[in-house]
Amino acid sequence: MSAEAGNAKVRITEGGYGTRFLVKLALTVGLGLSLVFGALYLLFSRPLEGGYGSAYAALQNLTQPWLLLPIVGLPVLVYALVVCIVTVVLCVYAIHKVAGPLYRMDRVVDNFISGEPIRAVFFRDGDQAAILADVFNAFVARLRDDRKACQELMVRAESGLDRDPERAVAEMAKAAGEIARHISKYR
Amino acid sequence: MNTMPQYNMRRIILINPRFQLRVAMLFCAIILLGGALLAFQIFRDAQLVLREATSQGHFANDLTPFQLVYKVIVRDLLVMAGGLLVATSILFAVLLRRIHAGILRLVEILLKSAEGDLSTPTAAPGPAEVGVFGDRLDGIRGKTLVLVNEIRADAAALESGKLADAEFRSRWDALKEKLGRLAP
């Protein structure tokens, strides 16, 4: 797959990843707003006691910001805090599916840089951007294949060193040339 | 026996607070802004309805304020729910698009690397963390290229036939050692 041609077909996240997150977020917001409605129902449902005059005075009182604002503001504040906490959890979990694989690949890169043997990168169920692991593993595999091919050339060239050193040295020089050509694609 | 490496078994949910919490904070900002707007809207509408009711004076004795204000509350809540869904969907789409763009660039660079291009900088767009990972990839590609260049130089010197025996053996061993370090 060439990089440019492949871009159109490459799926970074699996189908439904975004939808699932948005559905969970919508449910959270919906539930939160339902709670606001319930709280406002409870707070506004106290019957206006007394006669017409008292009811009139109570209603007028209710229009005052010092009374109406806490009645409206408190449930909305609680809603905002609760929904924010749930949203943080949802976001952390959803982004973890992308950040986690990057984190694990970062550790593999650490191994690569320190010269330790590199393990193939494995992703867990539900991890997104799995293609990144595939192409990284493919890159490392290609390097290894080239290394092995070069090492085989060296071993083959060296094999006659005991029998006919002069001829073997010529074979080794020839093998070195082949190695140079083999890795010439790297630039 | 489970042969998976230890780090694959760990369940670390908060991998990168800067990345994950920043995204969460963006969503929270929308929700808090929506909450403030909602509180203001319900307050204003309820106050208006209650004032209208008191100014007209048409209300029964067993009336509750809820009966007066529930219509505007329901309307405001529905409008806010719709607004929040649209805003969060847009934010999520933008974030996902940025992440996609960054990871696509990483994929493209790794495919090019497998074909031999170890020098084109990754310069991955999108979230900073993807960019940092791109820089780390550039690091290993650069390191590999340096090694490949050394191998190439040794191989060219060996092929030239101009080396003395001792020098030839030394270069040959060096070539072997360097090849061993290529993707261990």
Query: What residue segments make up the domains of chain B, in order of their start?
Result: 15-180
Mean per-residue pLDDT for B83-99? 92
What pLDDT is recorded for position A112?
84
Query: Is B24 within 8 Å of A104 when comparing Cβ atoms?
Result: no
Give the lowest-confidence range in B6-10, B51-55, B124-128.
B6-10
Cβ within 8 Å of B, A 51-80:
51-52, 55-56, 59-60, 62-63, 65, 68-69, 72-73, 76-77, 79-80
What pLDDT is recorded for position B90?
95
What pLDDT is recorded for position B164?
86
Supply the mean pLDDT for chain B.
88
Reduced DSSP (H G I as helix, E B as strand, rest coil) percent helix, strand, coil of chain B, to 5:
80, 0, 20
- Considering chain B, what percentage of its residues have pLDDT values greater than 90? 65
What pLDDT is recorded for position A166?
80
CA distance A127 to chain B (A): 12
Of B125, B43, B12, residue with least CA distance to A127: B12
Cα separation of B34 and B7, whole Å? 40
Mean per-residue pLDDT for B125-142? 91
CA distance A181 to chain B (A): 8
Q: Which residues of A touch B16 (CB under 8 A)?
A: 99, 102-103
Q: Which residues of A touch B72 (CB under 8 A)?
A: none
Cα separation of A24 and B119, whole Å? 43
Mean per-residue pLDDT for B50-71? 85
Confidence of residue B7 (pLDDT cuts 50, 70, 90): very low
What pLDDT is recorded for position A5?
42
Q: ipTM score of the complex?
A: 0.81
Supply the mean pLDDT for chain A.
86
Whether pLDDT at B9 is above 50 = no
What pLDDT is recorded for position B12?
63
Q: Which residues of A touch B50 (CB under 8 A)?
A: 59, 62-63, 68
Cα separation of A116 and A119, whole Å? 9
CA distance A35 to chain B (A): 11
Cα separation of A75 and A39, whole Å? 6
Q: Are B68 and A58 in contact (CB under 8 A)?
A: no
Report the chain A residue with the minimal C-alpha distance to residue B158: A173
Three-state SS at B88: helix
Q: How many CB pairs under 8 A join A and B?
A: 283
Confidence of residue B115 (pLDDT cuts 50, 70, 90): very high
Cα separation of A77 and A148, whole Å? 65
What pLDDT is recorded for position B2?
42
Q: Which residues of A touch B179 (CB under 8 A)?
A: 147, 150-151, 154, 179
What pLDDT is recorded for position A124?
76
What pLDDT is recorded for position B11?
56
Whether pLDDT at B27 is above 80 = yes
A139 touches B: beta carbon within 8 Å: yes
Three-state SS at A40: helix
Q: A3 Cβ partners below 8 Å, 6+ apart?
A: B107, B108, B109, B111, B112
Q: Are B68 and B53 in contact (CB under 8 A)?
A: yes
Whether pLDDT at B174 is above 70 = yes
Q: Mutate which of A1, A90, A92, A182 to test chain B, going by most B C-beta atoms within 10 A? A: A92
Q: Mutate which of B110, B133, B150 to test chain A, going by most A C-beta atoms within 10 A? A: B110
Q: Are B179 and A154 in contact (CB under 8 A)?
A: yes
Residue A104 host element (H or E): helix A65-114
Selecting from B70, B143, B161 the residue whose C-beta is nearest the C-beta of A173 gives B161
Q: Which residues of chain A have a pLDDT value below 70?
A: 1-10
- Considering chain B, what percentage of its residues have pLDDT values greater than 70? 92
